[in-house]
Amino acid sequence: MSLTLQEANRIAGAAIAHAETLGIGICVAVCDAGGRLLAFQRMDGTTWAAVYGSQGKAAASAAFGRPSGDLTERADHPTFRGIVAADGGRMILGKGAVPVMRDGAVIGACGVGGGTGEEDEDCARAGASCVS
């Protein structure tokens, strides 16, 4: 049970469509359950830093199977710091990504950067909700 490229592109498109309704520019990264990038899109005019934010938040959400914002309070815990370090420091434990689930299992994650944490997570949820 894995996330397909077609599904990943549909997730990215839905996240972007939601960002357009909010009037914001985003980067959206969709990764598989192992945190490896499947699809990525950057809206015109979106800051370059959002490229890294979206991917880092997606990797964290996939790794822990929960929204990346749920991890923020634990980001300074030695175990979480160790896991992030062991992964090369690419995970970002901040709001803006949600896991993509199928039949109760994590099959990937959608991470967004470019708006506020809340806007990013709303866009990520809009993307992830299009997979069943």
- Tell me what pLDDT residue 132 has: 73
- Has residue 1 got a pLDDT over 90? no
Return the exposure string of 14-33: e unless at least 16 CB atoms fall within 10 Å of the residue's CB, then b: bbbebbeeeebbbbbbbbbb
CATH number of the domain encompassing residue 60: 3.30.450.150
Bridge partners, residue 42, by sequence: 27
Measure the CA–CA gap between 24 and 4, rounded to whole angstroms. 27
Tell me the per-residue pLDDT of 63-112, one tens digit each, with 9 for 90 and over: 999 999 999 998 899 999 999 999 999 999 999 999 999 999 999 999 99
- Tell me what pLDDT residue 90 has: 93
Bridge partners, residue 125, by sequence: none
Question: How high is the mean pLDDT of the chain?
Answer: 96
Q: Which domain holds residue 56?
A: 5-128
Q: How many structural domains are present in the chain? A: 1
Tell me the per-residue pLDDT of 27-70, one tens digit each, with 9 for 90 and over: 999 999 999 999 999 999 999 999 999 999 999 999 999 999 99
Bridge partners, residue 110, by sequence: 30, 98
- Tell me what pLDDT residue 131 has: 87
C-beta of residue 58 within 8 angstroms of C-beta of residue 98: no
pTM over 0.85: yes
- Has residue 21 got a pLDDT over 90? yes
Tell me the per-residue pLDDT of 108-127, one tens digit each, with 9 for 90 and over: 999 999 999 999 999 999 99
